[in-house]
């Protein structure tokens, strides 16, 4: 593992992943891989017709959007100036982070590896990809195809199970992106903390679905809840986990869902090519155990040999039952009766914050409720690549800016550029490192407290009291006080006092040559 990560880091330090042309070239190669190897990918997924729309089209759409928008995403963004920077040009530069680890999930094994990879490539990073060992066919195919189309040193693939992943997490990365369950997410975060590596954890949660009494049940239950819940056999992170509804409409909800299930999958669900299976027997037994002691209104049939569990509906579910304690991640839909929207809100707020919330109501005030809006998300938001998506607490620290998935990495703060570098050197990641261009054309950037940076014209370092000492520097920002020094000065004080820094900051913005405003006024008077 050390050699793989070391090779990726050496390739990144060579600088060849930074040019915009190289990134687009690699993205085009990835697009060509998906198009040329489509049959092999679908065969590995073994998901029937849904695999194309959920996996292939998702990746191709992400690639198209990324290649179209990347030049504008990578461009430096101007920053509004203030009194101290009014004579300068301020930018936000975008820098690649370095070596990024992408750990994929098994429920959508291809798209959940490719989309983060697309973002990391677009941002100019080197990437180590670790597909889920649970979906071994897809993992094997990814390991075989990526080296054929992408730079072998910059983009490596590691396969294997828990031992390989554990060893991989001992290495130092510049960012880790993990998609999966909360338990493993804690392990990933603990390993990353040893190196102070920032992480993006896209985890799960129990996503509630509230159905108001006045809504159209045929639309809510038939075309939306049923599809969202039982797609991929319920193994989707944002699938509706349970329903909250008034007791008076519970039976109608059940009947509508049953009718839609028959329409979707026919009389014999087990033989339907559109209905999936549980990923393995361990997860089969976990989901099956959630049915114990519950009132089954529909379904419940199962076959451990084929990991089949029929679409199941549970009614009158107690909030304290086992099925309400953990994310189901299977084709089991509990219905919990509540008498009002206020009771539904209280029920949700007493539990861990969900990853998504689905509200079905014809009452605009109900849909616009601040307490419900706070957690509202939907399948449509998820598939809108330009729409941001985020989650908190047990769902993991994730901020998926979806511009495209490389925006997942935009909370990262890599080391700043050396002073003297211009904004044209920015990558695609949002580092929020301000860059000032002075009137003399020199550039300066904010430096961390421990920074010791060398310049051609001199040395900049911090004094013993946390001040700044600059000999021949071109302009920097003191992180402790946010006061700018400049090349205009003769900075021979070390450490600088706050008063001296402020004095230098004010002097630095005084004009070097007198401004001839009097002459201009006199000319105007003569014209009159």
Residue 93 in contact with residue 76, Cβ under 8 Å?
Answer: yes
Structural domain includes residue 414: no
Active-site position among 31, 89, 95, 202: 202
Whether the pLDDT of residue 3 is over 60: the answer is yes
State the burial class of residue 421 (Cβ atoms within 10 Å of its Cβ: 0-12, 13-18, 19+): middle
196 and 253 co-located in one domain? no
149 and 239 co-located in one domain? no
Which structural domain, as residue segments, surrounds residue 261?
A: 208-377
For the chain, what percentages of helix, strand and coil (3-state, to nearest 5) are there?
Answer: 40, 15, 40
Structural domain includes residue 387: no
Structural domain includes residue 30: yes
Residue 388 in contact with residue 402, Cβ under 8 Å?
Answer: yes
- The confidence score (pLDDT) of residue 127 equals 97
Domains identified in the chain, total number? 3
The reply to whether 36 belongs to the active site is no
170 and 234 co-located in one domain? no
CATH value at residue 82: 3.40.605.10
Structural domain includes residue 179: yes
CA distance 77 to 187: 36
352 and 212 co-located in one domain? yes
| pLDDT tens figures, 45-100 | 876 556 777 788 889 999 999 999 999 999 988 888 888 888 888 888 888 999 99
Q: Rounded mean pLDDT of 193-203?
A: 94
217 and 364 co-located in one domain? yes
12 and 146 co-located in one domain? yes
**C-alpha pair distances (Å), 325 with each of 289, 336, 389:** 13, 13, 25
- The confidence score (pLDDT) of residue 201 equals 92
CATH value at residue 274: 3.40.309.10
Structural domain includes residue 528: no
Which of 44-58, 163-177, 296-310, 360-374 has the lowest average pLDDT?
Answer: 360-374
Whether the pLDDT of residue 434 is over 50: the answer is no
Structural domain includes residue 176: yes
State the burial class of residue 7 (Cβ atoms within 10 Å of its Cβ: 0-12, 13-18, 19+): middle
Structural domain includes residue 437: no
265 and 315 co-located in one domain? yes
197 and 300 co-located in one domain? no
199 and 213 co-located in one domain? no
- The confidence score (pLDDT) of residue 209 equals 94
- The confidence score (pLDDT) of residue 366 equals 63
20 and 117 co-located in one domain? yes
| pLDDT tens figures, 92-148 | 888 899 999 999 999 999 999 999 999 999 999 999 999 999 999 999 999 999 999
| pLDDT tens figures, 379-402 | 443 444 444 444 444 444 544 433
193 and 278 co-located in one domain? no
Structural domain includes residue 258: yes
216 and 274 co-located in one domain? yes
């Amino acid at each position: 593992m050390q050699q793989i990560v070391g090779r990726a880091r050496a390739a990144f330090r060579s600088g060849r992943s930074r040019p915009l042309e190289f990134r687009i070239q690699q993205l085009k190669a990835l697009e060509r891989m998906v198009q040329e190897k489509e049959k092999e990918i679908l065969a590995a997924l073994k998901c029937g017709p849904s695999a194309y729309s959920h996996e292939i089209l998702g990746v191709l759409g992400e690639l198209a959007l990324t290649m179209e928008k990347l030049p504008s995403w990578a461009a430096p963004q101007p920053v509004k100036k203030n009194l101290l920077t009014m004579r300068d040009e301020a930018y936000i530069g975008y820098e690649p982070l370095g070596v990024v680890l992408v750990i994929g999930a098994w429920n959508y094994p291809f798209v959940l590896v490719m989309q983060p990879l697309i973002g990391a490539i677009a941002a100019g990073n080197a990437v180590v990809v670790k597909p889920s060992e649970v979906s071994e066919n897809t993992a094997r195919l990814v390991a075989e195809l990526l080296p054929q189309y992408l730079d072998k040193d910059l983009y490596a693939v590691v396969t294997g199970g828990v031992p390989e992943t554990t060893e991989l997490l001992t290495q130092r990365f510049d960012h880790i992106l993990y998609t999966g369950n909360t338990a493993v997410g804690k392990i990933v975060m603990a390993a990353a903390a040893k190196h102070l590596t920032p992480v993006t954890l896209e985890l799960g949660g129990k996503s509630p679905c509230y159905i108001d009494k006045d809504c159209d049940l045929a639309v809510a239950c038939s075309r939306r809840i049923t599809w969202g819940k039982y797609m991929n056999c319920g193994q989707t992170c944002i699938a509706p986990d349970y329903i909250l509804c008034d007791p008076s409409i519970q039976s109608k909800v059940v009947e509508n869902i049953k009718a839609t299930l028959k329409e979707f999958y026919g009389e014999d669900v087990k033989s339907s090519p559109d209905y999936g299976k549980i990923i393995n027997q361990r997860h089969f037994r976990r989901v099956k155990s959630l049915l114990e002691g519950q009132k089954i209104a529909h379904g419940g049939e199962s076959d451990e040999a084929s990991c089949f569990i029929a679409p199941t509906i549970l009614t009158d579910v107690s909030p304290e039952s086992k099925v309400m304690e953990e994310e189901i991640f299977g084709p089991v839909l509990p219905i919990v009766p509540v008498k009002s929207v206020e009771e539904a809100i209280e029920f949700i707020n007493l539990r861990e914050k969900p990853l998504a919330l689905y509200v079905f109501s014809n009452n605009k005030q109900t849909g616009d409720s601040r307490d419900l809006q706070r957690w509202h998300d939907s399948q449509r938001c998820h598939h809108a690549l330009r729409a941001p998506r985020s989650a908190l607490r047990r769902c993991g620290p994730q901020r998926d800016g979806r511009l495209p998935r490389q925006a997942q990495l935009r909370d990262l703060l890599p080391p700043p550029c050396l002073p003297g570098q211009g904004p044209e050197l920015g990558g695609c990641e949002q580092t929020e490192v301000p860059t000032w261009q002075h009137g003399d054309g020199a550039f300066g950037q904010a430096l961390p407290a421990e920074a010791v940076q060398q310049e051609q014209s001199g040395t900049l370092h911090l004094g013993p009291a946390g001040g700044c000492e600059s000999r021949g520097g071109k302009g920097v920002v003191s992180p402790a006080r946010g006061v700018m020094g400049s090349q205009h000065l003769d900075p021979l004080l070390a450490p600088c006092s706050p008063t001296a820094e402020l004095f230098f900051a004010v002097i630095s913005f005084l004009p070097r040559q007198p401004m001839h405003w009097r002459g201009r006024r006199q000319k105007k008077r003569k014209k009159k």
